[in-house]
C-alpha cells in the first residue's frame, strides 16, 4: 500500500508508513484504487449531548413499539388470561370483591389513585406553570402547559379508538366513567409527572436536583398505575400501555425542550 501521488497535507491528516491517520482514526488506500477505507473509531465522535439525544429517540421508538404490540394483543384478546390472573392475585380468594391486605390499604390506594385524577393533575400543572411564570421562565411554562394539555387530548383519543370495556371479574372499589384501554390515570400521571419532572430538571444545572425531580416523578407514576390494578378498575395491560405511551410522550417533551434551549427559544438551566 503506497501513498497516492495526489495525496496532499491537510490539518489533522498525517502519513506514516503509507498509512493515513486522522486523530484516532486509521485509514488507507487499497492497491489499484483511489477508494479510502476507514477503520477504527469514527472520525467525528458524537458529543455527550448528541449521544443522550440519540438514546432518548431510540427509547421513545421502543416505547411506541411496545405500546403498538400490546395494543394489538389486547385487540385480539390474547392478554385476557394474563390480566385475569393478576387481577385475581390482588383479591381475596373467597371474595373477589375485596382486595387483599389490611382494611386501611384500599383507602390508601384510593388516595394514591387520586394523584392521577384530572382534578389533582390540573391543580398541580397550574401550580408549576405559575411558578415558572413568576421565575420568568415563560417559554418553559408555555411548553409545559402545551405538553400536558396535548397529552390529555392524546389519551382521550386513544380511549375512544380502542373502547375496551372495564374489567368485569371483580367489583371495582371506585366508580369509573370512561373506557379501559389505556389506563387514563397511568397515562396522564406518566405524561404529567414525568413531563413536569423532565422539564423542571432541565431548568436546573445541579445533578442532585435533576435526579430528585425524575425519581419523584417516576415513583408517583408507578404508584398511581399500581393503585388502579389493586382497586380493580383496570386490567394490568391497560396500565402497562398507559406507562408506555405516557413515558414516550414525556421523553418527547424533554427532547423538544433540549432542542429549544440550544436554539435559545427556551430559557437555559440555572447556573449554580
Give the residue numbers annotated as catalytic, written as ranges: 185, 234
* HSE (side-chain half, CA atoms, 13 Å) at 231: 26
- Read off the DSSP letter of residue 149: H
- For residue 101, give the C-alpha cell: 391486605
Residue 145: exposed, middle, or buried by beta-carbon count in 10 A (0-12, 13-18, 19+)?
A: middle
First to last CA, the chain: 55
28: number of Cβ within 10 Å: 19
Rounded to the nearest 10°, the torsion over CA 128, 244, 83, 225 is -20
The span from the CA of 184 to the CA of 234, in Å, is 10
Please report where in the chains the cell 408555555 appears, as a residue: 142
Between the CA of residue 42 and those of 29, 37, 222, 262, what are the distances in Å? 17, 12, 40, 25
Amino acid at each position: 500500500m503506497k501513498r497516492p501521488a495526489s495525496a496532499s497535507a491537510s490539518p489533522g491528516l498525517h502519513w506514516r508508513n503509507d498509512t493515513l491517520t486522522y486523530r484516532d482514526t486509521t485509514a488507507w488506500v487499497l492497491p489499484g484504487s483511489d477508494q479510502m477505507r476507514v477503520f477504527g473509531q469514527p472520525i467525528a465522535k458524537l458529543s455527550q449531548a448528541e449521544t443522550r439525544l440519540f438514546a432518548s429517540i431510540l427509547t421513545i421508538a421502543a416505547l411506541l413499539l411496545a405500546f403498538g404490540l400490546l395494543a394489538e394483543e389486547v385487540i385480539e384478546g390474547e392478554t385476557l388470561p394474563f390480566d385475569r390472573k393478576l387481577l385475581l392475585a390482588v383479591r381475596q380468594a373467597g371474595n373477589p370483591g375485596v382486595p387483599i391486605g389490611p382494611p386501611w390499604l384500599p383507602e390508601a390506594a384510593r388516595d394514591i389513585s387520586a394523584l392521577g385524577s384530572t382534578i389533582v393533575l390540573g391543580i398541580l400543572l397550574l401550580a408549576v406553570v405559575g411558578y415558572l411564570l413568576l421565575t420568568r421562565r415563560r417559554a418553559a411554562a408555555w411548553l409545559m402547559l402545551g405538553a400536558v394539555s396535548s397529552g390529555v387530548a392524546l389519551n382521550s383519543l386513544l380511549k375512544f379508538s380502542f373502547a375496551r370495556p372495564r374489567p368485569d371479574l371483580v367489583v371495582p372499589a371506585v366508580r369509573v366513567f370512561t373506557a379501559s384501554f389505556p389506563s387514563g390515570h397511568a397515562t396522564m400521571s406518566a405524561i404529567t409527572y414525568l413531563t413536569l419532572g423532565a422539564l423542571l430538571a432541565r431548568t436546573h444545572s445541579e445533578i442532585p436536583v435533576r435526579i430528585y425531580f425524575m425519581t419523584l416523578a417516576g415513583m408517583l407514576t408507578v404508584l398511581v398505575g399500581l393503585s388502579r390494578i389493586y382497586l380493580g378498575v383496570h386490567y394490568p395491560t391497560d396500565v402497562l400501555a398507559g406507562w408506555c405511551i405516557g413515558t414516550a410522550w414525556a421523553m418527547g417533551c424533554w427532547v423538544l425542550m433540549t432542542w429549544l434551549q440550544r436554539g435559545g427559544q427556551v430559557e437555559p438551566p440555572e447556573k449554580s
